[in-house]
Amino acid sequence: DGGITQSPKYLFRKEGQNVTLSCEQNLNHDAMYWYRQDPGQGLRLIYYSQIVNDFQKGDIAEGYSVSREKKESFPLTVTSAQKNPTAFYLCASGLSVGHGYTFGSGTRLTVV
Amino acid sequence: GQNIDQPTEMTATEGAIVQINCTYQTSGFNGLFWYQQHAGEAPTFLSYNVLDGLEEKGRFSSFLSRSKGYSYLLLKELQMKDSASYLCAVNSGYSTLTFGKGTMLLVSP
């Protein structure tokens, strides 16, 4: 079955460490997205990519980095420069008229 | 800039009808989406409006007025499982969606 997979589901990080969140899709979607969700804040766009080897900053890109070397994969690195990284991170793909995004199941990152 | 407003919380009783409003001011408009999100889970698609009027899908309906920058999600015959957060999102003509902060709906017996 086609879908979008995020791993791990839960991630703990020590302050000052970089960590990479995985996002893989087998839906043949060109576009992929990373959103961050905090309590009471809704979803905020971090980065997005419309095609392989190209990506754009979203509204809150500072302290994050991405790559898009393959169509299927769009990993997100949370760097030590991100001052408040504890959040729920959602990866999405596609943006079809009428159905919107396909979402992954999310990764909950906690800084300890 | 983009601005999407929804009420923070709403409560309703099982079997009742509830209307969740969403107002938006965006630089363009290419469709409005409603998603349902249970705690700790990914959002799931509920409805899409791009033209003015009402779209009905089972117990859920969604309305759009582009001239007023206004939409609502109507949930009928509420069930306990409808307790969730409801997200309004706008495609303003770019290749991304902008989300509101979500409305937490609590359904009580």
Label residues B12-30 b or e (16+ Cβ within 10 Å = b). Answer: beeeeebebebbbebeeee
What DSSP designation does B82 have? Answer: G
The residue ranking higher by pLDDT, A98 or B26, is: B26
Query: What backbone torsions phi and psi does residue B97 show, to the nearest 5 degrees?
Result: -105, 140
Closest chain A CA to residue B9: A40
- Residue range B53-65: mean pLDDT, rounded: 96
Report the C-alpha gap between B38 and A4 in whole angstroms.
18
**pLDDT at residue number B97:** 93
Q: What is the distance in angstroms between the Cα of B52 and the nearest Cα belonging to chain A?
A: 14
pLDDT in tens, B85-94: 999 999 987 7
Whole-number average pLDDT of chain B: 95
Cβ contact (<8 Å) for A101 and B97?
yes
**pLDDT at residue number A1:** 65
> What DSSP element (H or E) covers B88?
strand B84-90
A105 at B interface, C-beta within 8 A: yes
**Does the pLDDT value for residue A96 go beyond 90?**
no
> What DSSP element (H or E) covers B33?
strand B32-37
Cβ contact (<8 Å) for A100 and B35?
yes
B34 at A interface, C-beta within 8 A: no
**pLDDT at residue number B49:** 96
Residue among A43, A48, A99 whose CB faces B45 most closely? A99
Amino acid letter for position B80: M
